[in-house]
Amino acid sequence: MLLRTFIKSLGRRPTATQRTEILNKRRRLESRITTFEQRLAVLMDVPDDVQWSGAAGKRRTDPDSADSVSDDGSTVDAETVFTPEQDMISLPSSLAPGEIERISLHAIAGIEAELRKGQISDALEGLRLALGEKSLCFRGQVRDANSQRTSQRAWSNVHKHDAEARKHRKTYIHARTALQRLSADSDYLSTLQDITDADMKVSSDVTEENRYGQRSDTLAWFWRMDDGLSNEAESSPRMRECMYYLFRPY
């Protein structure tokens, strides 16, 4: 996911240096995926006729050669065919519906479900912290900027924290989708909702003390979750600072 975000940030026409960096990152990622797949194959031991879910991504291709040959005999650049960041990882959540029961992978699926819950918790914690940093930066830097230079720097920081928040949202969406495919712990899944663009903004209820009509505003659902918010504020000094500025009326 991080590699896909990095590639997207380079635009459609990366430089030769950037393309080399992409290829090096892909090779390192491919090495990590291969090692993981080899270890997982021992645990899962899936049969050859197992069915995989198309929603989990595309099946992996052979990355042995840096270049491939097209149908007309011409060489195809490796960067166009070697994309490990888009490959499907062979996890229980990548199996087609019914396959976990058919090949008796309940135990491993349960382990993945618990790991996905931890991933969701970490993503929501990172999302709250990033949005808190964004709000803190906006209120403490953008509003106090007294020159074009300081204003540009302040807005650059706001955009940086916004990008970080969106990265955590993508991680949350990915982990939640995998957990849904596992069909595990429906009670827990019922507490997880979509995170919309509107949820990525801070409600005016917590930034303006006497704003007219604020009773109609509510915080996004992940701010009201029991898991984490109080614990994060207790364990993280930076979170306490962000929460103070975020929820402090003035």
Is 134 buried (19+), middle (13-18) or exposed (0-12) by CB count in 10 A?
A: buried
Structural domain contains residue 57: no
DSSP reduced 3-state for 191: coil
- What mean pLDDT, rounded, does the chain reach? 77
- pLDDT given at position 71: 39
What is the token pair recorded at 153?
């720097």
- pLDDT given at position 60: 60
- pLDDT given at position 65: 43
Structural domain contains residue 96: no
- pLDDT given at position 250: 37
Structural domain contains residue 85: no
Cα–Cα dist 126/230, whole Å? 14
Residue 95's DSSP bridge partners are: 52
Highest mean pLDDT among 56-60, 81-85, 238-242, 243-247: 81-85
Contacts 24+ apart (CB under 8 A), 42-50: 43/108, 44/90, 44/92, 44/105, 44/108, 46/90, 46/95, 46/103, 46/105, 47/103, 50/95, 50/99, 50/103
Structural domain contains residue 214: yes
Structural domain contains residue 175: yes
Q: Which domain holds residue 210?
A: 108-247
Look at the alpha carbons of 204, 208, 214, 219 in this order and tell me if their dihedral is positive or negative: positive
Residue 234 pLDDT grade (very low, low, confident, very high; cuts 50, 70, 90): very low
Structural domain contains residue 14: no
Would the pLDDT of 231 be above 60? Answer: no
| Each residue's pLDDT tens digit, 2-38 | 777 778 778 888 899 988 998 999 899 899 889 988 8
Structural domain contains residue 238: yes
Instruction: Return the minimum-mean-pLDDT range out of 17-31, 105-119, 207-221.
Output: 207-221
Compare 225 and 101 and report the one with higher pLDDT.
101
| Each residue's pLDDT tens digit, 137-180 | 888 888 778 888 888 888 888 899 999 999 999 999 999 999 99
Structural domain contains residue 99: no
The count of domains in the chain is 1
Q: At residue 63, what is the residue type?
A: P
